A and B are shown apart, each in its own frame.
Chain A
Amino acid sequence: MIRQALRRNPWSFLGPFSTQMLAAALVAAGLGITTSIDRAPLDAAARQALTDSGVADIAIIFVMIAIYLSIIIVGVTMAATIAQQARDIALVRAIGATPGRVRRSVAAQAAIVAVPATLFGVPLGALGGRAWIDGLVAHGLAPAAVTFQGHPGALPIAVAVTVGTSLVGAMVAAIRPSRIRPAVALAESGAPRRRIGKVRTAAGLVLVAGGVVLSVAIAGLDAETTDQLGLFVMLALCVGAGLLGPALLKVAALVGRLFGDTGRLAGDAIGVRAKALSGALVPLTLAIAFTAVKVIILNTGERVSGTAPDAADTWLEYSGTAVYVAFAAVAAVNTLVTVVLARRRDLAVIQLAGATRGRALRLVVCEALLVTGTALVVGAAVAATTTLPLLHTALGTWTPWMPASWLVTGVLATAALVLAGTALPAALALRRPPIEVVS
């Protein structure tokens, strides 16, 4: 069964693979950074200064981030992978595989993919770690004597981390699909589930409302308290937006109707796949919100106070955000690729119904832009609600500010990510004659 899964849909493992690769890179980089600092030829005073600066702690944080994000994102991407195996799972369940057996098989698939992913990731991590150490030195955060040195145990440790996290993530992702009754799975594998849980929507609304109320409430407090509570505003809004993801996409689907026939078709497609697509919407929204909050706070501060923040601090802040954004981007692109690949048949049917290749592709691009737009709007709303009370209490202004260059880069980067995850695989899929795909 493991063999069948790996051979039949090798591309569906792209998600777990790239997540594991990134996690391995982060582990290797983090370990390398600690080793580099430990082994640097420094005198006692310089070492003490470096320890006090907390730079070494950041390396540990990298490793921790790698562990927990890879559990979550391997879980999310494996869920999409498992969805593609629904028929095979239903079959082996029918002929007598227990749910536990299916879960173990899925976990084994993830673990097997983790090994090559780690082999690619560790050298990448060494490169990244080297660049980061160079950055530290260049910004005067570490003495020039600190040079990058790889951790001798980076590879085995990274393998242990990626295999371990993949086992956990995949096991959790497989719980529901492995317990489904075979008869339901045999019937369901054709059509995606359309209904969105009422509890899910209600919980999402409560969290979003709570976040907004908290945001308004803390705007009147002193700067320090607001700063501390601001994190909860962001958390509530992010989790809330995540729960509301499918519902938000249904709204976006209605917007699509305004853009002619292609937009209407795209809207319908998004409406049907809202649940699957929200797996891409959520990480995109989080990445946009995280980055926007950082950028707005740093830049509005600079604008209001008239003094630029310490370049070294800025660099540290952004490098941390970059790690989160990289993971979120991987998760988003992978979910999109899986959704598009699962739609090969649909696209072929659309072509058989009279659409040209160009038109089918335009449809996918239109869907991509709707998802991008939703992510940008929701991300911006989360960022604004989070930053407004912070700006008001700390700086006395209600207007968040972001340089136009950041805004343009953000919008373009999001659009590029979404297009890479949709239009590219769709263009490749559309190269096969539709009748071959359908039969």
Chain B
Amino acid sequence: MENVLELEGVARRFPRGIVALREVSLRVRGGEFVAVMGATGSGKSTLLHCAAGLDRPSAGSVRLAGREIGRMREGPLARWRRDRVGFVFQSYNLLSELTVAQNLKLPGRLGGPRRRGVDDVLAAVGLQGFGRRPVGELSGGQRQRVAIARALVTGPSVIFADEPTGALDPSTGGQILRLLRQAVDRDGVTVLMVTHDPGAAAWSDRLVMLRDGTVATDAPTPDAETIADRLRTMSTAVAA
């Protein structure tokens, strides 16, 4: 399958000399589930932001769904995101005063594609009949499922997930990861997920470890225990 995401020599420096990404190149094929891990400050969130067009790299190029997005103007870039990308964040990021259905219709109201129906995606995340409930009344796990439904409703090529289970207990988190896995296996969506939880990363096909803004390892995902071991060695290596 062709590459959905191509990062070529991507760097991101912030004012006052802070370097979040030193040099990262990464190719992600369609239908891949990639987990990105690394210690706090290793640049994993910045990598996700740059890959998703939420931020612009200081150097290098980003191709997202077949288009170079590094130099795109804000308006066209926003439309490109709307049509090709879904987001799931740690803090749910739903509009809390609206109902579930209103949140799911939001991308469509913004002019995005409506490739899947609201009821269809609600059923897919196990929230049939929740459409009229205000988001403010839902539990954390339910909100995160709404966020996944919203990411799915436009039928995106890629879903970017930033610590999607960070605020959830392990069993609720497991449900969320199962949904992301399903989206990959059943709908052929590509998922790029940033996480610090080895258990969450174990659901992926491929594991990218970042250290100091560069790719330390990039290989098929081992089991959770091996991931945890590898994280420990990496952090002791940094400490030494």
Contacts and interface: CB of A to CB of B under 8 A. Distances in A.
Interface in A61-96: 87-88, 91-96
Contacts of A16: none
Chain B interface, DSSP helix/strand/loop, else mixed? mixed
Nearest to B48: A183
Contacts of B95: 1, 4, 88, 91-92
Interface in B55-110: 55-56, 74-75, 78-79, 81-83, 85-87, 89, 93-98, 102, 106-107, 110
A95 B106 contact: yes
Chain A interface, DSSP helix/strand/loop, else mixed? helix
A95 B50 CA distance: 15
A183 B55 contact: yes
Interface string B29-55: 000000000000000001001101011
A96 B54 contact: no
A92 B87 CA distance: 11
A267 interface: no
Interface in A81-139: 87-88, 91-101
B167 to A, nearest CB: 12
Interface residues of B, number: 31
Contacts of A101: 78, 110
A360 B178 CA distance: 46
Contacts of A1: 95, 106
A92 B55 CA distance: 15
Contact of A98 (B56, B75, B102): B75
A96 B82 contact: yes
Contacts of B74: 98-99, 179, 181
A91 B46 CA distance: 16
A3 B98 CA distance: 8
A182 B112 CA distance: 18
A198 interface: no
Chain A interface size range = 20 to 34
B54 A97 contact: no
B145 interface: no
B97 A8 contact: yes
Interface string A1-17: 10110011000000000
Interface of A: 1, 3-4, 7-8, 87-88, 91-101, 179, 181-184, 186
Interface of B: 46, 49-50, 52, 54-56, 74-75, 78-79, 81-83, 85-87, 89, 93-98, 102, 106-107, 110-112, 150
Given A94-B52, A179-B74, 11 more contacts: A3-B102, A4-B97, A95-B81, A95-B87, A95-B106, A95-B112, A96-B111, A97-B82, A100-B75, A183-B50, A183-B54
